[in-house]
A and B are shown apart, each in its own frame.
Chain A
Amino acid sequence: MIPEPAVWAIILLPLGSLALIAFVIRPFFNRAARLSGYITILALLGSLALSGWALKSALGHEGPIGFTLHPWLTLGGPTSATGFTFRVGLLLDPLSAIMLVVVSGVSLMVQVYSQGYMRGDPGYSRYFAFMSLFTASMLGLVLARNLIMLYVFWELVGLCSYLLIGFWYHRPAAAAAAKKAFIVTRLGDFGFLLALLYLYFHRASFVAAGLDPFDIADLHRAVATGAIGGMVVTWLAVGVFAGAAGKSAQFPLHVWLPDAMEGPTPVSSLIHAATMVAAGVFLVARLYPVFVASQMAMNVVAVIGGFTALFAATMGLVMNDIKRVMAYSTVSQLGYMMLALGVGAPVAAIFHLFNHAFFKCLLFLGAGSVNHATGTFNMQFMGGLRRVQPWTYATVLVAGLSLAGIFPLSGFWSKDEVLVAAWRGGTAFSQVVFWLAMAAVFLTAFYAFRMMFLTFHGQFRGGVEAEQGGHASGEHRVHLAESPAVMVFPMVVLGIAAVVSGFLANPVVDLGPIPKHWFAEFLGGALGETHPQKTSLGVAVVSMLVALGGIGLAWAMYGTRVLSPQRVGRALRPLHTLLTQRYYMDHLYERAIVSRGFYKGACQALEKFDDNFVDRAVNMVGWFSRNTGHSVRRLQTGQVQLYGVGIVLGIIVILAVYLIGQ
């Protein structure tokens, strides 16, 4: 059994790496910036090893391992009515154990890759310092036993995403994207914060039952015993889901994720695979009993998830930026996870998160590798790269097949479970979301292979030089070659994971040392889903056929060009425009809501209020302060006898008030 300090070390190792880089390497050894990368990798190796140990302990332990709760701070005293003690502690259960391995493993691969990708960047040390903090925050979020602690790490994750998306802060687009990510997720976080405050104001019913409202296990218990219920649970769940929807980029808060491409590509891959966006799905799974207690909240989660899965996939169809295609793909896949949670299949959701982490991380690393060769992210200027980048091609192909859900790659297994769960959900909502998800399977396969064909097949179309009209700047230029080994190695590792993770983690038959369905059994106990999903051959075959259909269409349009994409685009022009304009959602937010509604409407109204009310008050205060300031300055002459008079006057006034007021 893993001792508590070792579990803390999982968080503290990357945090220590941050401190070491920020306070030692950057100020004193900035010439040897490469050290920062090595330190980060070492710290994450340690975290990964300890995470493995934690997983092993969780496997051998019945029920969650709740480590000691440490009182953090006490407001009010034991005798006071408003008194409350906030406690912090760690919770190691199957859910957090699996997440630990995913987060530290994927992050480690990303850091190795970054050694090559970020080489020579002036902010090399800063990059690894932020990446360490990012990973530490996510690990802390996963391990937190207490919602307050979870919230602190949750916000730290948000902060790091801001710092890393805006890593190249001198580029206006990056700075804007960082702000957008921060502000949009903040809208969701506000819901989460309200949920926490709501919980705090209902703490009396917890305290009466001897429970701590912020303790996750106690919260589950309170829901199970009915200490809280009804609308309280619904509001709580909806508030938490708002936070999750922000972080996991669910409709209508998805707009930040595609813009988050402005960060360095390895950052995107970490955000999309294991840290930022996974946090939302994790949070819902973490508080799953709360959601189960409210059918309304479950329906909200399922419908938003299902809608997002399809909605985001449609936008992925027409994007030309390879990273944007993948960004919409992430949004869509997160929709799958949410819908699985909503239809009562948390195991399928986490299983999909687990598989998705590997193949999506790989897809992004592949995009970075392609960019390394061509200098651009625009697929219209790529093509034919399979000959110069065989390793990249092979690994991305695996990831693409996995994303499309082709047997026997990992994506197939988890996507199938999600679909089966929706099919067997038994409510009208689950029927609707099943068809949404099935439609999204087709689109996913299509855009994944559109990306494959445009990038790797056909003839090379000139890269960044063609894009910028022949004269590329020094920073980005075309040199068609495979990426360095330090970048290829993590891709191969992730490629292997993308092939086997689905089958090995949750085999449908006994596999030597790995018992049948161990992932589902292991996780199901923790999430209250004791009967593992039965696989349905029918759904599996249909979804495979649908996916193959999508690939076939992509092949027809972009492989053999039997169908001209241009002609299809023209034929469906309104739809095509709608998609390339991303359903005008960004327009709606930026033009209508922010510019017109906020600036023109609210701000002007407020300005009127400001001019007529506040300004007058301020002017009054200003006039008063100026005069007071003047008189105070006159009083503050430096004449010591006046100060003495002030003291005596003060005494007289106090006495007078006492005597008059008695």
Chain B
Amino acid sequence: MTVHDIYLLSPELALVALGLAIVLLDLVVQRKGVLGAVALVGLVVPFALSILLWGDVHAEPTETLSGLFGTLVVDKFALFFKFLVLGIVALLVLASTDYVSKLSRSQGEYYALILLSATGMMLLAATTDLIAIYVALELASLPVAALIAMLHTDPRSPEAGIKFLLLSAMSSAILLYGMAFIYGFTGSTKLPVIAHLISSTATPGVPLGAYPVLLGVVLVVAGFGFKLSAAPFHMWTPDVYEGAPTPITAFLSVASKAAAFAVTLRVFYVAFEGVSLDWALLFAALSALSMTVGNVVAIAQSNIKRLLGYSTIAHAGYMLVGVAAIAARAPAGDGSLGPQGVLFYLGAYAATNLAAFFAVIAVCNKIGSERIEDFAGMARRAPWLAGVLAFALVSLTGIPPTAGFMGKLFLFSAAVDTGLLWLAVVGVVNSVVSAYYYLRVVKVMYLQPPPSEEQVPSSVPFRAALAVAAIGVLVLGVLPGPLLDVARAAVATIVP
């Protein structure tokens, strides 16, 4: 391990150091509010290091730096996800300052585990080696299992934690099994090498070129599909989302999903690029299935967290549209549009879903209920929270001028561009269906009388987090250009 390797790994190392520092600090400080502040300020270091790396990568002719014997890569794609995850964590820390008082004894662990999990997510986007991918995935998942189970006062929380742990272990096993097949066939764990071997030995007529690869790829898809919460590997999602502490639900729904999409895009667009026609249709099918299952089942939900859980499944489906929009199908089309759309959508979705979850956190904390009908009259009891939640739900539906609209526009136009018109139609129809349950919440908040006139309070840091997320939704909806440019630069490294 050279100094250069340490430099390339420095954002992750800084994040780990920050997590450990908070655990130590937790032992000595009495006022636990300090911990959140330290976490927030400390995030500046990995952020600054990532900016530094962006400059270096930009100066490099290949736009890629690699270290740790080729397992670690730093390119714009990886850096995009570093920024995204760091941004999500910063907002989450800001918004958790109220919530953590519920976890009286384990506030330090709460922040530390989030930071460690974020480290895993950042690494997940920055490796081109199957073993390293697996390790990063575990690093990202295990702290989350502990976080889900952290709310001792609610029996649903430990239950959800155990469920997540068990199913996560199972999906990891499936993923490893799949990786083993691929390694067995190609003799390498490096994605570029795998790509070369697969495209040079592919047998025409056999799905994905060879049966071991087929088996391996399907198992890998199942393993990633679990993390993406794509149907039919989604069934853990509603239970875990409902049971987990709400900020952790938010974390799972945006950061975890972003990391899962990062690794999915990298593995499939790099290692299996030569046989893309064979797997793209699988993703298209999973996409259509996830959208439909997520939206149809969401209609019947009465718990807001479960509703957002099913909505997450649907949004995984929308984003899979971008994964399926490969260049090989349409020579006139542009194959980088799909991944670009996914990256943009992840940013847009992070802002939107965080805004929605933050508003839900504040409201549920006050009224002590997660039932949608208990949100009645919220527009009068908490006009700002209700306004932001309504705005976020409009964005989730995909109505301008919000980030969600632009995200869907890019994804669906990528689908049309690469000859997946039918999938775009499925997506649009699903968006219409989703309007029903999203706007129902808005209706309850604005048109039904409140049971009491008592105001719903919120702290200043919390409001700041809420405002940043809401402004993000608006800005991305009106000026999508800058984020799209960054996404384009990021995708250029995986889609030549």
Contacts and interface: CB of A to CB of B under 8 A. Distances in A.
A80 B417 contact: yes
Interface string A62-93: 00000000011111111111110000000000
B218 A80 contact: no
Interface string B203-231: 00111000000110011011001100000
Interface in A110-139: none
A633 B226 CA distance: 19
A635 B413 CA distance: 35
Contacts of B481: 71-74
Nearest to B467: A23
A629 interface: yes
A74 B332 contact: no
A629 B334 contact: no
B380 to A, nearest CB: 14
Interface string B243-287: 000000000000000000000000000000000000000100000
A650 interface: yes
B221 A654 contact: yes
Interface residues of A, number: 37
B167 A75 contact: no
Interface in A144-186: none
B158 interface: no
B235 A77 contact: no
A655 B207 CA distance: 10
Given A71-B481, A643-B167, A650-B222, A77 B207 contact: no
B417 A651 contact: no
B440 interface: no
Nearest to B206: A662
B86 interface: no
B144 interface: no
B170 to A, nearest CB: 5
Given A71-B481, A80-B334, A640 B163 contact: yes
A647 B484 contact: no
A621 to B, nearest CB: 9
The secondary-structure label for the interface of chain B is helix
Contacts of A75: 409-410, 413
B232 interface: yes
Given A647-B222, A662-B205, A638 B239 contact: yes
A92 B187 CA distance: 66
Nearest to B336: A77
A183 B274 CA distance: 53
Contact of A76 (B215, B225, B238, B337): B337
B167 A644 contact: yes
Contacts of A649: 232
B279 to A, nearest CB: 10
Q: Which residue of B162, B235, B336, B484 has the most chain A CB atoms within 10 A of its CB atom?
A: B235
A135 to B, nearest CB: 20
Nearest to B306: A636
Nearest to B478: A72
B320 to A, nearest CB: 14
A354 to B, nearest CB: 33
A489 to B, nearest CB: 37
A27 to B, nearest CB: 8
A646 interface: yes
Interface residues of B, number: 46
Interface string A202-224: 00000000000000000000000
Interface in A615-651: 625, 628-629, 632, 635-636, 638, 640, 642-644, 646-647, 649-651
A80 B406 contact: no
A643 B225 CA distance: 13
Contacts of B409: 75
Contacts of A662: 205-207
B209 to A, nearest CB: 12
Contacts of B282: 654, 658
Contacts of A628: 296
A76 B162 CA distance: 44
B67 interface: no
Given A83-B334, A640-B163, A632 B417 contact: no
A638 B240 CA distance: 10
B473 to A, nearest CB: 16
Interface string B271-310: 0000000000010000000000000110010000000000
B413 A76 contact: yes
Contact of B174 (A640, A642, A647, A654): A647
B413 A82 contact: yes
A629 B300 contact: yes
A534 to B, nearest CB: 49
A658 B206 CA distance: 9
A79 B340 CA distance: 14
B134 to A, nearest CB: 18
Contact of A73 (B232, B384, B480): B480
A81 B333 contact: yes
B233 interface: yes
B405 to A, nearest CB: 11
Given A650-B232, A651-B222, A76 B334 contact: yes
Contacts of A636: 235, 238-239
- Cβ-closest 10 pairs across A and B: A77-B334, A650-B232, A80-B334, A643-B235, A658-B207, A81-B332, A640-B163, A651-B222, A646-B235, A75-B413
Given A81-B417, A647-B170, A650-B222, 13 more contacts: A27-B383, A75-B409, A80-B334, A83-B334, A629-B300, A636-B238, A642-B235, A643-B235, A644-B166, A647-B174, A658-B207, A662-B205, A662-B206
26 contacts: A73-B484, A74-B481, A75-B413, A76-B337, A80-B334, A81-B417, A83-B334, A625-B296, A636-B238, A636-B239, A638-B163, A640-B163, A640-B166, A643-B163, A646-B233, A647-B232, A650-B222, A650-B233, A651-B174, A651-B219, A654-B218, A654-B221, A655-B214, A658-B218, A658-B282, A661-B207
